[in-house]
A = this chain, B = another copy of it.
Amino acid sequence: MSLPYAILTALLEKPSSGLELTRRFDKSIGYFWSATHQQIYRELGKLEESGAIRALPGPRQPTRGQKKEYEVLPAGRDELAAWVARIEDPKPIRDTLLLRLRAAGVVGTEGLEAEVRRHLALHRAQLAEYRAIEERDFGEGGKSEADRLRHLVLRAGIDLERFWIGWLETARAELADLRAGAAADTRTGPPATA
């Protein structure tokens, strides 16, 4: 499980409350590890119980509805450092569009082209967003180690979007070609291979 480590990283970057973490996950960390506020609160509770983090002493004892900030304890930092070097195999992707393309091979491509075009637009928008972040946050040189590593992660996001855009363009062309072939079939009859 990686969520606790994502939370420890975020808290080391800056001590925060549950809701603040949720917002930060929505922005930066969530681009490659998303989490809802429920998951985050649950995990914060576990981390506090296990002694990896602790609540910062606030003006009054926090009850329900009161902000509660956390900071990482040395034990939590050690766990995170150990996790960074841990051996863990990459997991295969899980993408429904690939699955749907395969399904289209047996039930037909009806409606798939529109969905491919829609995904293409979404990935192009995401790429533009990443590029804007890159220009804003990593414009000139003279960066710290943490900055260079964050930039590296961002470049993974950028390259990944580029991969999707390239592949989706191929897919769109292929689907258009199949459609043209199918239209020809209705005029001339199916080819011998069908």
- A160 and B162 CA atoms in complex are apart in Å by 10
Chain B binder among A46-54, A60-68, A108-116, A131-139? A108-116
Do A30 and B92 touch across chains, with their CB atoms under 8 A apart? yes
Residues of B within 8 A of A149 (CB): 101-102, 104-105, 109, 174, 178
- The total of chain A residues at the interface (CB under 8 A) is 78
- Shortest CB–CB separation between residue A60 and chain B, in angstroms? 30
Q: Is A180 engaged at the interface, CB distance under 8 Å to the other chain? A: no
Report copies per complex: 2
Query: A20-61: contact bitstring with B at CB < 8 Å (1 yes, 0 no)?
Result: 000000000111111000000000000000000000000000
- Whether A112 lies near B99 (C-beta < 8 A) is no
A91 cross-chain contacts in B, Cβ below 8 A: 94-96
Q: What CA separation (Å) do A163 and B142 show in the bound complex?
A: 27
Q: With A32-B92, A160-B93 given, is the CB distance from A9 to B115 under 8 Å? A: no
Known: A33-B99, A94-B32, A144-B193. A107 touches B89 (CB 8 A): no
Which 3 residue pairs spanning A and B have beta carbons closest together? A85-B111, A105-B146, A105-B149
